[in-house]
Structure 1
Amino acid sequence: MSFTSPSLTDPALRVRPHSTLLQQYKIRLDMVTLWCVLTLLSLHSLEASGTNAGVKVRVTEKGLEYGRQIGIAALQEKLKSIKIPDLSGTEEVSPIGKVSYSLTGIQILNLGLPSSAVGLVPNTGVSLSIIDAYINLHGNWRVKYLRIIKDSGSFDLNLGGLSIGVTIGVKRDDTGRPMVSSTGCTASVGHVSIKFHGGASWLYNLFKEYIDKALRSALQKQICPLVNEAVDEMNPQLKTLNVLAQVDKYAEIEYSMVESPVVSNSSIDLSLKGEFYNIGQHKEPPFSPTPFSLPPQDSNMLYIGLSAFTPNSAGFVYNNAGVLSLYITDDMIPSSSPFRLNTKTFGAFIPQIAKQYPGLMMKLLVKTVKEPKIVFEPNNVTLQASGTVTAYAIQPNATLSPLFVLNVDASVSAKIYVTGVKVAGTLTLNELDMTLGTSYVGPFQVKSLDNVFRMILKAVVIPKVNAYLEQGYPLPAIGKMNLINTQLQILKDYMLIGTDVLFS
């Protein structure tokens, strides 16, 4: 009987100098390819534990594509601020002899990443590839030869055919959070061309090929170490992800993975614990998740399946916390109601009450006797609850005199919806069955009170519960992630949320 008080969160109901070219190539796989790749992978890659998942998450190819678009756009802006290190060297140039050269003050004029792709590597993680990238730069050159002769000028440098490929693996760190690392990287610079301005053209044309070689070598040596470093630098961001999401002062929900992510050719599937706990006390409920599988769908970026286990674990937690109870007094009854919570009104149904306790106000205590149970059936969510209603007469000195105790079983329908990055719900009373537990005023017909208690549940208890449920409970998320184009389906034993994602 879902008179589970405002505390019921049954929501049924995240080169240094030479470190140039990619130094900030922190491969802005952060944000979204960080999202796609890992965001959801950010919901923790724990080792297999053999425990069934309460929540499952699927990142589709559409989700990865969104990550690529944002990641590449961010990467392009980042690369524009790269500082190319000064380069210098000495080469033997016939017939002059040794020529010392230096390239300094190199600045980016233009940068393009026209072709990139993100893909899935089965059983491993995600791959990112960039091809035909180009960078146009401008800088200064200086040479010295024959020990005393110096010359200088400016140059334009074009890097073309730049390609990078990296594979990112994900595993669990010792805090239960995801940790990423590069499991493979390749990089190459297709061509480097320089056009010199000023100075003696015959001279710099002689050592031009050496400059090309030096730039190509310097860049290719830097790229993969920098990409690996960029991947490692995602880990501090991943450490900001909450292993536990606090719901309120009573409960928190855990989204750690119960097995390694399953990476296929078309999606990344994550199995999360999805279990409510009392804050600071992780006691397991006397039930476990029913195995379920997400159906093949790919029209959205992200799919989240929440089994009935998750809200049922919430019921267990709140029942353990002793907060599934509610005192009802007359001032909580709508003023328009002809029914008042006093011995006169109840005396009309139970004459003994009016005779033994004339002219007194009453108080009701509604509480559960065990955790409520939620059931998901196709297009239907019901909540079964068992509880008691204890009626008291309020004496002039404020002491309470017990009148009777009713055993109550109720069936409630729940409407579930997504709001922001939370799941929320509202309840509607379906069926109510009451039997007499204890009477302190003699025997009476419980059936006569049926309409009275239906009114109390509908007018007082359920609105209180709904006000709480409307606050929702958090879904797995990372950073400033918003859900858009969201659809929710109720299936057998779980609900399925299909959604696209937008990062603000």
Structure 2
Amino acid sequence: MFLWCVLVLVNLVSVDTVANAGVKVRLTQKGLEYGQQIGIASIQQKLKTINVPDISGTEKVDPIGKVQYSFTGIQIVNLGLPKSALGLVPDTGVTLSIDNAYINLHGNWRVKYLRIIKDSGSFDLAVSELTISTTIAVTSDDTGRPTVSMTNCAAAVGNVNVKFHGGASWLYNLFSSFVNKALRNALQKQICPLVADSIADINPHLKTLNVLAKVDQYAEIEYSMVGSPVISNTSIDLGLKGEFYNTGQHKEPPFSPTPFSLPSQDTDMLYFGVSAFTINSAGFVYNRAGALHLYITDDMIPSGSPIRLNTKTFGTFIPQIEKMYPGLMMKLLVKTVKDPLITLEPNNMTVQASGTVTAYAIQPNSTLSPLFVLNLEVSVSTHIYVSELKLTGNMTLNKIDMSLAKTYVGPFQVTSLDNVFKIVLKVAVIPKVNAYLQKGYPLPVIGKMQLVNSQLQVLKDYLLIETDVQFTG
């Protein structure tokens, strides 16, 4: 896999000029340098497959006459690329240059002259000061994934030194210049095509980008590119859709991404920016799917809690409940009535949710008798962090505000239930939500990519993930 990042990561990045990018990613010079290490090793392996064909022919040598010759079994015994560099050409692509490369080859030679005299031996060929320069373009394919291609390449063989072994020494000078030229041409013809093959080998890896990442039965996230890469002197940026959708139903939410810019940092290999738009699109999708509701029963309340979901406990605060439905267990239905709103401020992520709580008494025949409906306004703080290749988190309750929407048991003071519902939310609802958040939401990744030493900051309108990366296998 060549140029891991130029290209393997290139598929993630940020485009400030693209207004509808929900997720931005920046590949820095440090990331390119890591990719360079992997890429050079890949090119080196590819160049070792150079196949030097057998060379044969006839030369007229005075005073001997015609000399038939052949050079066969030519194989590479050593190849090194000791000096290389990756560079970025703004708005163009990635350049790769290799200097002072060398190739050592070994083969056999054979001659026949004066019709009956034969001679043979072996030879060693040392190629030095080999240079390769190429430019790689990064574009998008029809699936929204990045694709790379070589746009130009030049290879030049510097010095060629041939040493013959065995046979008559006068033959050496005869063939040195000829072998030099023939092998130089054979090598130069194959180098650029092999480099092009090495670059093309990246594309199958780029196609593993999870442009449509499944989250669960309700949702998937689209990470397709929304514009061409933006290449500067120091980084490669792309913009990704970064939007949650109902599985199989791509309906746009009634809001759009707010433009944001990644900070100018380059201490890590890769920077992800996850906008508030992306997170809010999740709320839109789950609310639209009817997934933001929860039935709460008494078995979800810790056994040591003084609050029980029965008419006796609630009768303490609303006496008519116990009078009308004595000795019955209760059930609560908590559900949202509009999309939750996630707000990102420096070091602070909050969720505002509007919903209702409907209380039921459970009759002996399991039918539900409605008791009351409360309007509920809830504020929670959320701690977000990166776990492996996912964005995960947990919530803590800030406050709740309640008002009476409807009663089936007569009027009562809602404030008398404040503490009861705070406890219910803390011990029954929040743990359920956190258990779900722990499953996480997939980040845009490729193949066997791992994030290393990741850190997350909550900034104005977006989450910033700073990380190094590693590829295994």
Give the TM interval when normalised to the shorter protein. Answer: over 0.9
Structure 1 partner of 2:56: 89
Preserved contact between residue 45 and residue 256 of structure 1 (Cα < 8 Å): no
Amino acid at match of 2:383: K
Structure 2 partner of 1:373: 341
Which among 67, 73, 78 is matched to residue 110 of structure 1?
Answer: 78
State the Cα deviation string for residues 226-249 of structure 1 (Å, max 9, x = none).
Answer: 222332333233223322111112
State the Cα deviation string for residues 307-333 of structure 1 (Å, max 9, x = none).
Answer: 111111111111111111110100110
Moved over 4 A (4+): 48-51, 77-80
Q: For structure 1, which segment, 327-336 or 195-204, has the greater mean C-alpha deviation from structure 2 after superposition?
A: 195-204
**2:10 is equivalent to residue 41 of structure 1:** yes
Residues 1:392 and 1:71: Cα distance change in structure 2 (over 3 Å) = same
**2:393 is equivalent to residue 425 of structure 1:** yes
Structure 2 partner of 1:185: 153
- For residue 297 of structure 1, report the CA deviation from its aligned partner: 0.4
Amino acid at match of 1:86: P
Residues 1:98 and 1:41: Cα distance change in structure 2 (over 3 Å) = farther
State the Cα deviation string for residues 333-391 of structure 1 (Å, max 9, x = none).
Answer: 00010111000100011111111111100000011111111100011110110111100
Alignment of 1:98-497 (within 5 A): 98-497=66-465
Structure 2 partner of 1:17: none
The whole-number CA distance in structure 2 between the counterparts of 1:245 and 1:149 is: 72
Preserved contact between residue 93 and residue 207 of structure 1 (Cα < 8 Å): no
State the Cα deviation string for residues 265-287 of structure 1 (Å, max 9, x = none).
Answer: 01111111110111111000001
TM-score normalised by structure 2 residue count: 0.95
The whole-number CA distance in structure 1 between the counterparts of 2:197 and 2:35 is: 20
Q: For structure 1, which segment, 172-181 or 299-308, has the greater mean C-alpha deviation from structure 2 after superposition?
A: 172-181
- For residue 175 of structure 1, report the CA deviation from its aligned partner: 2.6
Q: For structure 1, which segment, 204-213 or 382-391, has the greater mean C-alpha deviation from structure 2 after superposition?
A: 204-213
Structure 2 residue matching 1:181: 3-state secondary structure: strand
Preserved contact between residue 13 and residue 272 of structure 2 (Cα < 8 Å): no
Question: How many residue pairs align between the two structures?
Answer: 471
The whole-number CA distance in structure 2 between the counterparts of 1:331 and 1:135 is: 74
Preserved contact between residue 94 and residue 135 of structure 2 (Cα < 8 Å): yes
The whole-number CA distance in structure 2 between the counterparts of 1:419 and 1:392 is: 39
The whole-number CA distance in structure 2 between the counterparts of 1:275 and 1:363 is: 35
The whole-number CA distance in structure 2 between the counterparts of 1:347 and 1:414 is: 34
Preserved contact between residue 54 and residue 73 of structure 2 (Cα < 8 Å): no
Amino acid at match of 1:228: A
Structure 2 partner of 1:6: none
The whole-number CA distance in structure 1 between the counterparts of 2:435 and 2:283 is: 17
Structure 2 residue matching 1:348: 3-state secondary structure: helix
- For residue 138 of structure 1, report the CA deviation from its aligned partner: 1.7
TM-score normalised by structure 1 residue count: 0.90
Structure 2 residue matching 1:42: 3-state secondary structure: helix
- For residue 86 of structure 1, report the CA deviation from its aligned partner: 2.6
- For residue 104 of structure 1, report the CA deviation from its aligned partner: 2.2
Structure 2 residue matching 1:277: 3-state secondary structure: strand
The whole-number CA distance in structure 2 between the counterparts of 1:483 and 1:476 is: 11
Amino acid at match of 1:370: K
Structure 2 partner of 1:7: none
- For residue 260 of structure 1, report the CA deviation from its aligned partner: 1.1
Residues 1:331 and 1:131: Cα distance change in structure 2 (over 3 Å) = same
- For residue 51 of structure 1, report the CA deviation from its aligned partner: 4.3
Preserved contact between residue 26 and residue 235 of structure 2 (Cα < 8 Å): yes
Preserved contact between residue 51 and residue 258 of structure 1 (Cα < 8 Å): no
- For residue 92 of structure 1, report the CA deviation from its aligned partner: 3.0
- For residue 41 of structure 1, report the CA deviation from its aligned partner: 2.1
Q: Which has the higher contact order (CA 8 A, sep 6+)?
A: 1
Amino acid at match of 2:28: T
Structure 2 residue matching 1:132: 3-state secondary structure: strand
Residues 1:165 and 1:355: Cα distance change in structure 2 (over 3 Å) = same
Structure 2 partner of 1:25: none
Structure 2 residue matching 1:296: 3-state secondary structure: coil
The whole-number CA distance in structure 1 between the counterparts of 2:246 and 2:10 is: 25
Residues 1:65 and 1:178: Cα distance change in structure 2 (over 3 Å) = same
Structure 2 residue matching 1:39: 3-state secondary structure: coil
The whole-number CA distance in structure 2 between the counterparts of 1:418 and 1:164 is: 40
Structure 2 partner of 1:20: none
The whole-number CA distance in structure 2 between the counterparts of 1:426 and 1:99 is: 84
The whole-number CA distance in structure 2 between the counterparts of 1:283 and 1:391 is: 33
The whole-number CA distance in structure 2 between the counterparts of 1:495 and 1:326 is: 28
Amino acid at match of 1:460: A
- For residue 71 of structure 1, report the CA deviation from its aligned partner: 2.1
Structure 2 residue matching 1:228: 3-state secondary structure: helix
Structure 2 partner of 1:66: 34
Structure 2 residue matching 1:159: 3-state secondary structure: strand
Preserved contact between residue 49 and residue 258 of structure 1 (Cα < 8 Å): no
Q: For structure 1, which segment, 449-458 or 479-488, has the greater mean C-alpha deviation from structure 2 after superposition?
A: 479-488
Give the share of equivalent positions with the same residue, in percent: 71
Amino acid at match of 1:39: V
**Structure 2: gaps of 5 or more residues:** none
The whole-number CA distance in structure 2 between the counterparts of 1:479 and 1:297 is: 26
- For residue 45 of structure 1, report the CA deviation from its aligned partner: 11
Q: For structure 1, which segment, 360-369 or 171-180, has the greater mean C-alpha deviation from structure 2 after superposition?
A: 171-180
**Structure 1: gaps of 5 or more residues:** 1-27
Amino acid at match of 1:88: I
The whole-number CA distance in structure 2 between the counterparts of 1:45 and 1:260 is: 10
Structure 2 partner of 1:503: 471
- For residue 454 of structure 1, report the CA deviation from its aligned partner: 0.4
